[in-house]
Structure 1
Amino acid sequence: MIAVDTQSYSRDSYSTMTAILRGFRRTCPHCGKGSFFTGYLKVGDCKSCNAPLAEIRADDMPPYLTIFIVGHIIIPALVLVEAAYAPPMWMQTVGWSALTLGLTLGFLPYIKGAVVGLMWHLKMKGDEQR
């Protein structure tokens, strides 16, 4: 692995929100052009500017935020559907489980990208405790 000096990447030319939004779009939070995902959730270095994003460990925050957001979508919808239509229990079990899984898998890479963007801008690697 090539050692890259992370101090040489100036983060003063863009705001924290810009880095978060670039990450949310799953593009490099530094240059905004290259992709940094090498798999579904695997973070690698930027393919465009070679920013060392692979060293960022955003372990627990993306799943936490995803659960928080999906829960705030599913629970009110579940209550409203139950009050208005009262579908059979088997239909609710299958439907809400599938919708929860789909939303979770759909949101997770975008939220992880946003967290990586935030951590990149704040110069956090996520391994300070080790």
Structure 2
Amino acid sequence: MSSEAPEPDKGQPAIGEAALLGLCPKCGSRTLFNGIVRFAPRCRVCGLDFARFNVGDGPAAFLILIVGAIVVGLAVWLQVSADPPFWVHILLWVPISTAMVLAGLRFAKGALLASEYQNKAREAGQREE
């Protein structure tokens, strides 16, 4: 038994590529997302049902911790080094945090869905279809 990740079929994108570009993990078309971070119900090209994958809140939970640590660290550094007024922090960190969360959430959700597809993950007790 090999501990390596399964080889993707021809036409299937790698997990990172699928996540970064919003590609269907089955056919590689740009049909994974229907909004900024909302999955499309299914692939318009190959018909893969994205609703059967359960990415849950895992990507959001880790992302909040990662983005929060980065933003707090940078905000403390800015405060100590430049001592700007409070409104500068608001104008700077709110848009940066929002952009980092949206970009990171899109990537994390796409990576998790692509990983579930390539590793044939399913709920415990479910039969293989």
- The amino acid of 1:115's aligned partner reads L
Candidates 102, 107, 110, aligned match of 2:107 = 110
- Find the counterpart in structure 1 of residue 8 from structure 2: 14
Aligned counterparts, 1:1-130, within 5 A: 12-14=6-8, 18-40=14-36, 41-125=38-122, 127-128=123-124
Give me the identity figure in percent: 23
TM-score (norm 1): 0.72
- The amino acid of 2:47's aligned partner reads N
Count of residues in correspondence between the two structures: 118
**8 Å CA contact 1:24, 1:112 repeated in 2:** no
- The amino acid of 1:21's aligned partner reads E
Runs of 4+, deviation exceeding 3 Å: 127-130
Q: Provide the alpha-carbon RMSD of the alignment.
A: 2.8
Question: Is the alpha carbon distance of 1:61 and 1:129 closer, same or farther for their aligned partners in structure 2, counting shifts above 3 Å?
Answer: farther
Q: Which of the pair has the greater relative contact order for Cα pairs under 8 Å at 6+ separation? A: 1
Deviation per CA, 1:46-84, whole angstroms, max 9, x where unpaired? 222222322112111121232133124312211221121
